[in-house]
Structure 1
Amino acid sequence: MDSATQRVGTPSTVRSKSTFLSRPLIIALLLVCISMLTRITLMLKAGNGVDYSLTNMLGIFGIGLFYDILNSLYFLIPVMLLGWVTPTRYAGKMGSKIAAGILQFILVFLLLLNAVSEWVFWDEFGSRFNFIAVDYLVYTQEVVGNIRQSYPVETIIGVLLILAVLLTILVSRLSSRFAFGPMRFGRRSLVIGAYFLIVVTVFMTVDNRIRQFSRNVYVNELAGNGMYELFAAYLNNELDYNQFYIKLDDQQASSTIRSLVKTPESRFTDNKPFSIERDIVNTGAELHKNIILISVESLSADFLGSFGNTQGITPSLDSLARQSLLFTNLYATGTRTVRGLEALSICTPPTPGQSIVRRPRNEGLFSMGSVLQNKGYQTRFIYGGYGYFDNMGYFFGHNNYKVVDRTALSKKDIDYENIWGVADENLFELAAREIASASKTGKPVFAHIMTTSNHRPYTYPEGRIDIPSHTSREGAVKYTDFAIGQFIRNARNQPWFKNTLFIIVADHCASSAGKTDLPVNKYKIPLMMYAPGFIEPGVMPRLMSQIDIGPTVLGLLNFSYRSKFFGYDIFKLEPGRERAFVSTYQSLGYIKHDSLIVLKPQRIAATFTPNFTDGSTTPASQNTQLLDEAIAWYQSASFQFRNGLMKK
């Protein structure tokens, strides 16, 4: 009797309890709590950018909780699988407890790391994780290096490890305290089967579009879950225009785009559907001047005194602007360097998803490099970082440019470098050597120079400017301004200077985050064309897209050529036909007159009246003609790339 009583005593009963369900439930609760705290923190970070109406608050936290729960379903898969395969008789053994503890620690640490990473990403882009984050995972060295140079990473990781240990202990104790009764393999299999049925159903039926309920972009971003958004972005980082966007009948789209690209100086070469191939005929002798195109990292127009800035952080550029033709109404096509490089090299509207610079089958495209090589130019893409980043080296190397990157510099040539590249002054010293060497052959030079210093962590050589390194974006802007000024001053003493056209433009703005999906004011960038004795100083106020720069430069030099560019020569374009393109990876904007057409997945199209000062938008009645134009531009660009029509 005593022996039987002892066998069914309390210790044995406790050991037989199962944490198969309690452990994932506790971790799911922890995930929801951390996600909610992250949401609140990011909302406070956004500040006045958020519309704090009752409806929006309910959406942020109600829909946010929904996505937190969905995310937990995916996140718990390893825990559920471990519990399922662990036999009941081993569940209480030390080995099983250690395995479960290690897995719990890893998952808890990932939750904490994700929360911190979301803060860093929001600080840079004003949004939850998106396909940019997916791209950055490919370039771990640069991204991790950038973070280490921008934040006290070792301290942060140390704190996260301590928190992860404490929370892991808490999870273990709560899991044991609220453990369920013993569960044999057959019963566990039924539970795991039901669980995966729910996961598959959710995967097949729910996406991240539910959070798009408000006109305030920050509200929609806060209603999401960062980890879930990262997963969604991985699945959707390249979007098929025909599948996701409103479209015209192919015949109408083809007819419309041909009428839109037709200009007085052009003649179509064929009548093929969607073909925009045409001969550009300019009168007068061709001017085979050197072309130095400097695309400046993240140079928003509002950094310059020429555009009203009073901080005095661009003295060199402001001085140069007074000696140049300054374009005051130019808009970047996108929010990333590769999007700007796409616009400047192949002069095409942005297509949804990845920039063409990053896509497969982007070799042999009709480009500024191919046009100018045919005119006898030596073409260069000169970059202060490593060319493999963002596929830049491959893209330019396979589209009629010789790629020159930081590998061309020895240690003695570098005064300073960070994870993104060498200091801009060293980049320009490299460019000057390349230009001087190439010009000695007697052939003209086209050099596209891409800077890097105006990028977080905002570090540069000390003593060059009056703002200490690693303190602010403004310091990085002023340093880049210093480097450009030094380059131009040195160039004036070179024999090739008098026969050179300098073009200085941004690749994109410093920030595109705003209350609206496409805040047009955040896309305005500076452009100046400088060539003493050739370009008269002045101001060009006409609306212009980044894709128009290439054709405009070729027109200034009186080049006649066969074109597949979508861009306009702004000096030949009849008044009233100006337009511009702005985009994120999935929202496509078309600016014309005082209207903004926005095309989005789910075949959504909306018309707004934009405020070009603060970026706000007011819904407007649909203009069918402008809508058809917007669709035709974007549908045609997507069709052309997918079907090889952009090839030479």
Structure 2
Amino acid sequence: MWFYRFRQACLALLFPWLLAVFTQSAGRAYLLFTHGASKTLADFSLDVTRMFWIGGLFDIRIASLLFVPCLLMAGCLAVSNRIFLIWQRFWPWVAAILSVIVLIMTVVNVFYYATYERFIDVFVFGLIEDDTVAVLSTVWQSYPVIGVLFCLGLFSIIVFWFYRRWQRWLGTKPKYKISLPISIIITVVILFICFLGMRGSVGTFPLRQHDVQVSTIKMLNMLTPNGLIAMYWAVNAHQKNNQFVTATNEKGTELLSRFLERPTQASLTPFIAKTDTNRVAKKNPPNVVLAVMESMGYHLQSLDHHQRDLLGALRQHWLTDWHFERFISEGDGTIDSLNRFFVRSPMSSISQSSTQTAAFISNMFTPYLTNGYKIIFVTSGNGAWQNLNQFLPRLGVSEFMEQNGLKKRYPDASIGTWGVPDEYMFRYMKERLAEADKKGEPIFMMSMSTTHHPPYKTPTGYRKTDVELTETEKQRLRNLATDDELKTVLNTLAYANDQLGLFISWVKSQALGTHTIIAATGDHNIRGIGYPDTHELVLGHAVPFYLYVPQDYRQNSYFDSSRVGSHKDILPTLYQLSLSETTYYRTGCNLLSKTQDNTWCQGYNPEVAITAEGPCILTVHKEFRPWANQKGLFLGDPKDMTPEQEKQCNRWSTFTDLLWWQLNRQVGGQKSH
């Protein structure tokens, strides 16, 4: 009899589940047909279909997350007929409440989009955190609140009445026995379908926020999620991204004085710098390309040699152009590093936070915007990831290209777990450079690759090489992967390097190569290798920094490959190469200056700061370790610090707090105490 009661519960909850899916889909359809331009959407019929498909999966996921737990509870209570009768009495109430919640959040999402042209996000919390009375007054004046409340009340009565009738009808159905094996099979199938419904996906990952990016049309991306999933994301972002504190003058004075080693009053002025006079750049502004490569870590790059080609077409440029190897990423994750580039934010989730619309003085694009550059951001991944498709346009990015746009432009591109293969990103970059050069407009183009990312897979058609490693190397990388999987990791790296190299070769072969500067670095060292040995501490954060600078723009540049640096130094270096007498926000130094600025010129990561003599470990137990060799990133044993080394360690141990202070000062203003 247990299966009979379980089956009855399953049928009972089927209707509210279907209603939840239908309600959310209806809200999406309503917004599309009331706010979408039919002529525009007619040209994007496939994108509209994809929007409804992915949106429907979100609706299924939410409906399943609401009602599958009810089914599981019913299954537990079905062991006793007496207890199951209690469940039968109460489930219509629960189902009606959940149905009303689904409708409320759908209506809220509809009104939210009508007002802001985006799905519910962290700004919905302005109802509480801003002037609540003013917000409620605006809602009262702008929307038919009474009519909506009346309809919600009527809806709740109707669905409750219907669920009660449905329960009574199910109770009249005759009972019949089903064999135990068939019962078990049907139960397992039902539970498996429920599991898939709660995931919303049969792929590697459950349906996630970045899956809302289905088109190059912003509206379709904004309509893809439903109200409940959007609210869930908003709550998570609100909890995670609003830990801003007041940037007091007292704290700022303390931190600035410690880092700069001189009494300094609290302000952002110490971060403001100006590029030197650059007559060549002023007369002929160069294009500037900053390519951030997924997991281009120094460790795996160092495994390359002529008999084991991991560089591909990048090799010739690697050997002849400038690159720094004692160089570390500032962040240890992709978005962490990117947001430090974008606005010098130590908060990795700033792009999703309530301050995402702030006018950041530290905006990396401002110096180029000031000089009339067009700003382009290209990624082979999903543009909705970490809210970049909304955050970057607010910073001045006028052209944002991501996987869906690349797929539309190049139909042969296939979208994988993390995006399209990198070759399509570089293909687009070449076309945009050629187009801009033809128009005579300088561009600053930043790219973010995604192919060299787990789950590793080389694109179809790419010729793999049989990468042979020594037993020692295999043992060292065993935490990352083994056997064929490890070879795939290295082949994926080789593919990404090769595509970068082909792009650089193309630039150099064109006339625009004489006035295009290219910089490339990794977002972080590849994760998963593991670095338990403190002699490899820097290696765990190490990424290379490559520079191609046309001859005409090398004036006043001094290249020394032994210099140390980190991500914070890339933009100051590019500014000096390409801009004349332009103000910029400085937290790093120009790596090509003839004389190094000892205040800003060490490499920095929150865990370690590297100097020419060796790194300072910036953990709780601070220590200094010299380099083990003249080249490379292996460390020697700890040594007693000299006064100068102790001074540097003390300075850089302050830097993380200083970065937080300057961010809080930018987004939250100031107080005297």
TM-score normalised to the size of structure 1? 0.57
Taking the aligned partners of 1:277 and 1:575, their CA distance within structure 2 comes to 14
Query: 1:614, CA displacement in angstroms?
Result: 5.4
Q: Give the match's secondary structure for 1:459.
A: coil
Return the match for 1:574 from 592, 596, 621.
596
- Distance change (3 Å), C-alpha of 1:570 and 1:484: closer
Q: Does 1:295 align with 2:299?
A: no
2:351 pairs with 1:357: yes
Q: Could you say if the C-alpha distance between residues 523 and 445 of structure 1 is closer, same or farther in structure 2, counting changes exceeding 3 Å?
A: same
Distance 1:555 1:632, change over 3 A: same
Q: Is the 8 A contact 2:383 2:389 kept in 1?
A: yes
Matches within 5 A, 1:502-517: 502-511=518-527, 513-515=530-532
Q: Distance in 2 between matches of 1:569 and 1:329?
A: 15
Pair 1:386 & 2:382 matched? yes
**1:491 is matched with which residue: 501, 507, 518?**
507
Q: Does the CA contact (< 8 Å) of 2:211 and 2:384 recur in 1?
A: no
Contact 1:336 1:508 in 2 (8 A): yes
Are positions 1:639 and 2:648 aligned together? no
* Equivalent residue, structure 1, for 2:616: 596
Corresponding residue for residue 278 of structure 1: 272
CA 1:643–1:259: 2 relative to 1, 3 Å: same
Cα shift readout 1:412-433 (whole Å, capped 9, x = no counterpart) = 4433331311111111111112
User: Given that residues 275 and 582 in structure 2 are in contact (C-alpha distance below 8 angstroms), is that contact kept between their aligned partners in structure 1?
Assistant: yes
Query: What is the CA–CA distance in structure 1 between the aligned matches of 2:75 and 2:496, rounded to whole Å?
Result: 56
Which residue of structure 1 lines up, in the alignment, with residue 418 of structure 2?
A: 420
**Distance (Å, rounded) in 2 between the aligned partners of 1:624 and 1:537:** 28
CA distance in 2, matches of 1:646, 1:299: 35
Partner of 1:162: none
Distance 1:433 1:278, change over 3 A: same
Aligned in 2, Cα 1:448/1:482: closer, same or farther, shift over 3 Å?
Answer: same
1:28-60 Cα deviation digits (max 9, x unpaired): xxxxxxxxxxxxxxxxxxxxxxxxxxxxxxxxx
SS of equivalent to 2:378: strand
CA contact (8 A) 1:303 1:309 kept: no
Structure 1 411/239 Cα, relative in aligned 2: closer, same or farther at 3 Å? closer
- Residue of structure 1 in register with 2:255 after alignment: 253
Q: C-alpha distance in 2, partners of 1:310/1:620?
A: 42
- Quote how far apart the aligned CAs of 1:296 are: 0.8
Task: Tell me the equivalent position of 1:201.
Answer: none
- Match of 2:521, SS? strand
Give per-residue Cα distances to partners, 1:517-544, cap 9 Å, x unaligned. Answer: 9932111111111134245996522110
1:491-546 superposed Cα distances (whole Å, 9 cap, x missing partner): 33433222111112111111263327993211111111113424599652211011
Q: Where does residue 26 of structure 1 map in the other structure?
A: none
Superposed displacement of residue 559, structure 1: 2.7
Maintained 8 Å contact 2:414/2:421: yes
Deviation string 1:54-82 (CA, Å, 9 cap, x unpaired) is xxxxxxxxxxxxxxxxxxxxxxx999999
CA 1:81–1:304: 2 relative to 1, 3 Å: closer
Residue 368 (str. 1) matches residue 350 (str. 2): no
Preserved contact between residue 286 and residue 558 of structure 1 (Cα < 8 Å): no
Give secondary structure in 1 for the equivalent of 2:455: coil
Q: Which of 608, 630, 637 is residue 623 of structure 2 equivalent to?
A: 608
Alignment of 1:204-223 (within 5 A): none
Taking only the aligned residue pairs, the percentage that are identical comes to 16
C-alpha spacing 1:238/1:356, structure 2 compared with 1 (3 Å): closer
1:542 to 550, 553, 563: 563
- Deviation of the 1:644 alpha carbon: 1.7
| Residue 453, structure 1, aligned to residue 447, structure 2 | no
* TM-superposed deviation, 1:374: 0.7
CA separation in 2, counterparts of 1:83 and 1:609?
61
Q: What amino acid is aligned across from residue 581 of structure 1 in structure 2?
A: Y
Give me the whole-angstrom Cα distance separating, in 2, the residues matched to 1:607 and 1:242. Answer: 26
Instruction: Work out which of the residue numbers 307, 313, 316 in structure 2 matches 1:316.
Output: 313
Per-residue Cα deviation, 1:129-157 (whole angstroms, up to 9, x for no partner) = xxxx99x9544679xxxxxxxxxxxxxxx
Helix, strand or coil at the partner of 2:623: strand
Question: What is the distance in 2 between the residues matched to 1:141 and 1:619?
Answer: 52
Give me the whole-angstrom Cα distance separating, in 2, the residues matched to 1:449 and 1:355: 19
Go from structure 1 to structure 2 and tell me whether the alpha carbon gap of 1:414 and 1:617 turns closer, same or farther (over 3 Å shift).
farther
1:439 corresponds to which of 408, 419, 437? 437
Give 1:645 shift: 6.2
Question: For residues 620 and 86 of structure 1, do their structure 2 counterparts lie closer, same or farther at Cα, with a shift above 3 Å needed?
Answer: farther
Structure 1 residues 310 and 401, CA, compared in 2 at 3 Å: closer, same or farther?
farther
Quick check: 1:323–1:537 contact (8 Å CA) kept in 2? no
Code of the aligned partner of 2:531:
G
Higher helix share: 2
- Whether contact under 8 Å (2:273, 2:584) holds in the other structure is yes
Amino acid at match of 1:344: F
**Matched residue SS, 2:439:** coil
- Relative to structure 1, is the Cα distance of residues 140 and 251 closer, same or farther in structure 2, using a 3 angstrom cutoff? same
Q: Distance in 1 between matches of 2:501 and 2:558?
A: 17
SS in 1 for 2:543: strand
2:573 corresponds to which residue? 552
Change (3 A) 1:420 1:90: same
Cα separation, partners in 2 of 1:420 and 1:340, compared to 1, 3 Å: same
One-letter amino acid matched to 2:274: I
The one-letter code of the counterpart of 2:496 is: T
C-alpha spacing 1:488/1:273, structure 2 compared with 1 (3 Å): closer
Shift of 1:618: 5.4
Q: Which moved further from structure 2: 420-429 or 605-614? A: 605-614
| Greater strand share, structure number | 1
Per the alignment, residue 225 of structure 2 pairs with none
Distance 2:624 2:82 in 1: 67
**Map of 2:341 onto structure 1:** 344
State the 1:479 CA deviation.
Answer: 1.1
- The answer to whether the 8 A contact 1:418-1:459 is kept is no
Find the aligned partners of 1:616 and 1:356 in 2 and give their Cα distance: 37
Please report how far the alpha carbon of residue 567 of structure 1 lies from its aligned counterpart in structure 2 after TM superposition: 1.6
CA deviation profile, 1:85-112 (whole Å, cap 9, x unmatched) = 999983487979xx9x99x999x999x9
Letter matched to residue 497 of structure 1: G
Partner of 2:395 in structure 1? 399
Give the conservation status (yes or no) of the 8 Å contact 1:516–1:617. no
The one-letter amino acid of 2:320's match is Q
Offset from partner CA, 1:196-219 (integer Å, 9 cap, x none): xxxxxxxxxxxxxxxxxxxxxxxx
1:531 to 536, 541, 549: 549
Structure 2 residue matching 1:422: 3-state secondary structure: coil
For residues 110-149 of structure 1, what are the structure 2 equivalents within 5 Å? 138-139=209-210
Structure 1 pair 374–430 and aligned structure 2 pair: CA distance change class (3 A):
same
Distance 2:598 2:256 in 1: 22
Structure 1 residues not aligned, in runs of 5+? 1-76, 114-119, 122-132, 143-232, 263-269, 600-604
Q: d(CA) in 2 for partners of 1:561 and 1:328?
A: 29
* 3-state SS of paired residue (1:313): coil
Q: How many angstroms does 1:306 deviate by?
A: 8.6
Q: CA deviation at 1:551?
A: 0.3
What SS class does the counterpart of residue 326 from structure 1 fall into?
strand
Q: Structure 1 residues 388, 482: CA separation in 2 closer, same or farther (over 3 Å shift)?
A: same
Return closer, same or farther for 1:463/1:646 CA change in 2, 3 Å cut-off.
farther
Match of 1:643, SS state, is helix
Q: RMSD value over aligned CA atoms?
A: 5.0
Q: Distance in 2 between matches of 1:237 and 1:610?
A: 35
**One-letter code of the match for 1:312?**
D
Distance of aligned partners of 1:80 and 1:254 in 2 relative to their CA distance in 1, 3 Å threshold: farther
Matches of 2:307 and 2:616 in 1, distance apart?
A: 29
Cα 1:505–1:242 change in 2 (3 A) is same
Matching residue's letter, 2:277: T
CA distance in 2, matches of 1:271, 1:138: 43
